[in-house]
Amino acid sequence: MKNKLWEQSAKLNPAVEAYTVGDDTIYDTKLLPYDLKASLAHAKMLEKISVISTGEYKKIKTALHEIKNLHKEGKFTVKLEQEDCHTAIEQYITAHYGEVGKKIHTARSRNDQALTMMRLYMKQSLEETKQLLTLLVEKYQAKSKQTKNIAMPGYTHMQKAMPTTVGIWLGAYQDAFNDILPLLDAALKLIDQNPLGSAAGFGIEGFKIDKNLTTKEMSFSKVQKNPVYASISRGLFELSTVAQMGQISLLASKFASDMMLFTTQEFSYFSLPKEYTTGSSIMPNKNNYDLFEIMRGNGALVTGYQSQLQLLLTGLSSGFHRDLQLGKEPLIKSVEITTSTLKLLIEVVPKIKVNEDKLKESMTEDLFATKQVYELVASGIAFRDAYGQVKANLEAKD
């Protein structure tokens, strides 16, 4: 059996093969369950339009089921010479069920297979992210409620500014994470269209394929009709997913920056139980908040992956280009990092210990200067004059 779906008489040069496939087998092994789902829908459609018989459909169904189980057990991986999971699946069917394997690729291309598989992956990732986000919002809400009356200095320019409370500070993150939910919905709506049948980007001629059937089977909301649009959405749809992961990660990174500052010995406003902190290999005194450092750094990573995707798309004309394969890593890594960050925050936010003594001590007089100004305003002095008086008093004290 030939290794590649397109194998020509000349064998592909091994250096070219290794270079072009790169890490794609790793990512395709991760994406395989989504290809299986799409392949099953495709087979059902082929049966309906009589390209394959019901018996053949059943064989394919069984084969796909077997692959799914092997994959779960870690026994089905994509090999370098297969290039991708699409080939690995077709070869498995042909090897175990013969002739029918040669029919599964009727009326599709690896291009629309990849599009469909990645779209299913993105849909599930966005759904999971929504759930995690919702849960995290609840955690912030609960913690914010619990701490609503604990006074805390508010900072601007990293200098003490005016009084606030721990509850308001935490409530800000509650609101900010909550407001990302509609952005996720918009990305989901964009992505929720079935590209199967766009083939290599120019559709299928000569077959009356039933896109509505596959749309329903895979729970897409609608068909993506224009095949050239299906093709140019590769990368752009990934980008709209990764952009949301970036928005989340950047916000989590801001929270992590806050925590890094507020857990320094000099601030000491908050701490975490010892099992959440780490030590040093030479300094026995250390108690470090590595989890927030990695969270801060992960914001940078996800943003960097977004840049990578944008760079990949830059300068590409329409039609499939192999470069687009390289978009799998930035997509998958962004999703994995972001969901792991959300999971950790869900675990950690409720565990934050508030050091009330230290906070009380930090509520120094200067924080109330603006209040003094407003008291003067209430007594009838114009705001700018009242401000001037209080400022002059403070400068005199220096």
Residues in region 246-265 near a copy of itself by CB under 8 A = 246-247, 250-251, 253-255, 257-258, 260-261, 263-265
385 membership: H or E segment, kind and range:
helix 383-397
Residues from 155 through 174 that contact a copy of itself (CB under 8 A): 155-164, 168-169, 171-173
Smaller CB distance to a copy of itself: residue 20 or 69? 20
CB of 37 to a copy of itself, least distance (A): 19
Choice from 202, 223, 355, 356 touching a copy of itself (CB under 8 A): 202
Smaller CB distance to a copy of itself: residue 107 or 213? 107
| Tally of CB atoms within 10 A around 36 | 21
CB of 234 to a copy of itself, least distance (A): 11
- Asked if 323 touches a copy of itself (CB under 8 A), the answer is yes
- The distance of Cα 375 from the centroid of its chain, to the nearest Å, equals 49
Residue 313 contacts residue 236 (beta carbons within 8 Å): yes
DSSP codes joined into one string, 195-255: -TT-TTTT--SS----HHHHHHHTT-SEE---HHHHHHTTTHHHHHHHHHHHHHHHHHHHH
Residue 271 contacts residue 263 (beta carbons within 8 Å): yes
- Asked if 44 touches a copy of itself (CB under 8 A), the answer is no
- Asked if 241 touches a copy of itself (CB under 8 A), the answer is no
Amino acid letter, 331: L
CB of 341 to a copy of itself, least distance (A): 8
CB of 166 to a copy of itself, least distance (A): 11
**Residues paired with 270 in a beta bridge:** 354
CA dist 363 and 358 (Å) reads: 9
- Asked if 146 touches a copy of itself (CB under 8 A), the answer is no
Smaller CB distance to a copy of itself: residue 69 or 350? 350
CB of 182 to a copy of itself, least distance (A): 5
Amino acid letter, 246: G
Binding piece for a copy of itself, criterion CB under 8 A, among 73-81, 118-126, 212-220, 267-275: 267-275
Smaller CB distance to a copy of itself: residue 14 or 69? 14
Residue 163 contacts residue 154 (beta carbons within 8 Å): yes
